[in-house]
Amino acid sequence: MKKIAIASLIAAATFGLAACTNSAQNESAEAANAIASDVANTTDAALGSIDNATDNALSAIDNAAENAGAAADATADAAGNALVNAGEALKK
């Protein structure tokens, strides 16, 4: 957020100076292009970080779901075995 505000201030100051001379106009254009490039690079880096965080979160959710499913299966197996054992005990 600070970078965008600073970039906006620099761009405004640059455009203010642009009215001076051709040389100043060229320098202003170069500065504006550099600022635009910096903003684009910062945006790309932020999007990359968001993509990585999303991938990590989805992976964690997938792992948690698999673990929960395995725990449910184990619980069902244990309950089934307990019922079989109880049935065997009643037969005796």
pLDDT in tens, 16-48: 655 567 777 788 888 889 999 999 999 999 999
Query: What is the residue type of 58?
Result: L
Q: Report d(CA 25, CA 4) in Å as an integer.
A: 22
Whole-prediction pTM: 0.54
Residue 79's nearest CA partner among 56, 87, 4 is 87
Q: How many domains are contained in the chain?
A: 1
Backbone angles phi, psi at 67, to 5 degrees: -65, -40
* Domain that includes residue 45, residue range: 2-91
pLDDT above 90 as % of the chain: 57
Residue-level pLDDT at 13: 66
The whole-number pLDDT of residue 91 equals 84
